[in-house]
Amino acid sequence: HITGIFCGDALFFSFARGIPSNFNVFARVLRDISQSFFMPLFFFISGYFTPTSFNRKGRYVFYLNKAKRLFFPLVLETTLFFPLAILMSQAISGLPLRYRLNPGPCWFLIWLLTMNFFYDTIRTPFRSDSNNKQIRAHFPTTYTRLLFGIIICGIPTYIINEIVLKGHKIYFGMPLTIGSLTCNIFMFNVGVIAYENRWLESSIRKQLDIPVWMLRLVTLVESCVLCALRGVMKENALLNFLFFAVSGILCLDMSLCLLQLFQENCNLHTCLSKKNLQVHLTQSILYTSH
C-alpha cells in the first residue's frame, strides 16, 4: 500500500506528483513483486486454517466467529472508517465532499467470508471419495507449480484483467491486477489442500524436488523478468501476456520460498505472538491505517 501511494496507484491517496521519476520506477518494481504474491499467500494461510477452525467449532460457532472477526469489521470499515478517510482527502484536496460506501483496504474480508461459505457448502461435502477416505494430493513439484502458475494464476488473470473486465480496476472490492482474483481463489483452496495433506507439518525442504537454493535462484530470476517486462511491455499485447504469465509463476514460487524460509527460521511461539492472537478484531479494523 505504501508503494502504491508513492507510485500513484492508491485510491484517493497519492503522493506521486512531484516525486522523482527514478523513485517512481523503483516503487513500481517493489509493488509489482509484492502484488504478485502477498495477497495470494494471505489467502493460502487463511485456507490452511479454515478446516481446523470449522471442524473444531462446528458450523454454527464457525459462522458466529466469522461474523465477529470478519463481517462486523467489514461493516465498520465500509460505512464509517474508509468513507471518513475519503471525506478527509476530499476536504484536504478542496474537492466537493461526497459520502460513499467503500470497503477500502478491507476488501479482502468480503472474499474471505465468501470463500469460507463455499468451503462449507461446496468443498466440505465433496472433499472425500465414495469410500469416505481422504483424497490425497502430493506436494507440488516444480513442473506442477510452473503449469498451475501459468494456466490458473497467469492466463486467467490476464483474460479477466485485459479482456473480460478491461477498464475496471475493482471487482467486488478486489483490485484487479497481477496476483488477484483467480490467484486468491486458487491459493485459498491450495491452503485447504495443504492442511488436509499435512504439507506444512513436514519439512518443506525435504519435500521439494529441487534444492532450496535453486528454488530461491529461480524465484529471483522470475522477479527480475517480471520487472523487465514491466519496463518494456507498454501497449505490446504479447509482452503484456508474458507479464501476467510470469507473475502467475512467481505467485507460487515466491509463496513457497517464504513458507520454507519462515518454517525453518521463524517457527517460534513467543509471548508477543500469543498476545497477537487476541487482537484479530482490532487488527482488521485498523488495517486501513496501512
φ/ψ of residue 33, rounded to 5? -65, -45
pLDDT digits (tens, 9 = 90+) for 46-66: 999 999 999 899 989 999 999
- What pLDDT, on a 0 to 100 scale, did the predictor assign at position 158? 92
Residue 169 is placed in which grid cell?
480496476
For residues 10 and 1, the answer to whether their CB atoms sit within 8 Å is yes
pLDDT digits (tens, 9 = 90+) for 134-157: 567 899 999 999 999 999 999 999
Q: What's the mean per-residue pLDDT of the chain? A: 83
By CB atoms closer than 10 A (0-12, 13-18, 19+), residue 174 is middle
pLDDT digits (tens, 9 = 90+) for 221-262: 999 999 888 877 777 888 999 999 999 999 999 999 999 999
Q: How far is the C-alpha of 192 from the C-alpha of 53, rounded, in Å?
A: 11
- What pLDDT, on a 0 to 100 scale, did the predictor assign at position 14? 47
- What pLDDT, on a 0 to 100 scale, did the predictor assign at position 147? 96
Higher pLDDT, 244 or 279: 244
pLDDT digits (tens, 9 = 90+) for 36-47: 899 999 999 999
Quote the distance between the C-alpha of residue 100 and its chain's center: 25
**Contacts with 41 (C-beta within 8 Å, 6 or more apart), sequence order:** 187, 254, 255, 258, 259
Residue type, 258: L
